Amino acid sequence: MIAKLKGLIDSFGDDWVIVDVNGVGYLVTCSTRTLSSLPSKGEAVEIATETFVREDQLRLFGFATESERDWFRLLQSVQGIGTKVALAILSTLTASDLATAIAVQDKAMVSRAPGVGPKMAQRLLIELKDKVPAFAGGDEALAGLAGGIAASAGSPAADAVSALVNLGYQMTHASAAVARAVKSSGDDASTQTLIRLGLKELAG
């Protein structure tokens, strides 16, 4: 399996880039988000890849970050979502957008991606509800606020932390993220607002 390419940008297409690695050009299919983050032609690049081997075909998919590759793999665990739709979703939504949509079950946000209808969006939200990976840790300097949040059971902050923990984030990271969210949005913020802001902190 080819997991990473390091070389020079040779050329671009609508959904691909050719990476020249010591004279060998690798055609790599990417999301528009990844393509827009790559350097110009002739410049050095390092790109995470996923190798797909079929009966008569070998394809490489490229990602600007390993977390985007994690999402690519995770999305395809949902029935009906293949490589094309997974890339369309990653071209439309950031990791933070996806995590937020899953946390608050926002079908409309997921349906913004081309090729994703309401039924598929609903299936994605249900199947991934307990599988969202943690892309970044929170600031543990704020983890001391976890006790105060946990003590206020039933409050929007405590409910937000619970939602993040249910998504797979560690308690200290979730508490720190919600604590920052409370600090930026105020004590009167709703649970949904704190979940959205907390996820942005964790996925930023």
Residue 135 belongs to some domain of the structure:
no
* Pairing of the two strands 44-54 and 4-12: antiparallel
Residues 57, 112: one domain?
no
Same domain? For 36 and 17 the reply is yes
Whether residues 151 and 113 fall in one domain? no
Per DSSP bridges, beta strands 44-54 and 16-21 are unpaired
Count of domains observed in the chain: 3
Percent with pLDDT over 90 in the chain: 51
Determine, yes or no, domain membership for 193: yes
Domain span including residue 173:
140-203
Residue 133 lies in a domain: no
Query: Do residue 111 and residue 145 come from a single domain?
Result: no
CATH (domain of 93)? 1.10.150.20
Q: Are residues 89 and 116 in the same domain?
A: yes
Residue 143 confidence (pLDDT) above 80: no
The CATH number linked to 49 is 2.40.50.140
Among candidate residues 43, 63, 83, the one where a domain is terminated: 63
Helical (H) or strand (E) element with 181: helix 171-185
Q: Residue 70 and residue 30: Cα distance in Å, rounded?
A: 14
Report whether pLDDT(131) > 90.
Answer: no
pTM (two decimals): 0.68
197 found inside a domain: yes
Q: Are residues 41 and 84 in the same domain?
A: no
Look at residues 79, 96, 127 and tell me which one is the last residue of a structural domain.
Answer: 127
pLDDT for 172 beyond 80? no
For 24-82, what is each residue's pLDDT tens digit?
A: 999 999 999 999 999 999 999 999 999 998 878 889 999 999 889 999 999 999 999 99
Residues 144 and 199 in one domain: yes
Distance CA 163, CA 114 (A): 28
Q: How far apart, in whole angstroms, are the C-alpha atoms of residue 146 and residue 169?
A: 13
- In a shared domain, residues 12 and 56: yes
- Identify whether residues 21 and 73 lie together within a single domain: no
Q: How many CB atoms lie within 10 A of CB 165?
A: 14
Average pLDDT, the chain: 84
Residues 73 and 122 in one domain: yes
Instruction: Name the residue type at position 100.
Output: T
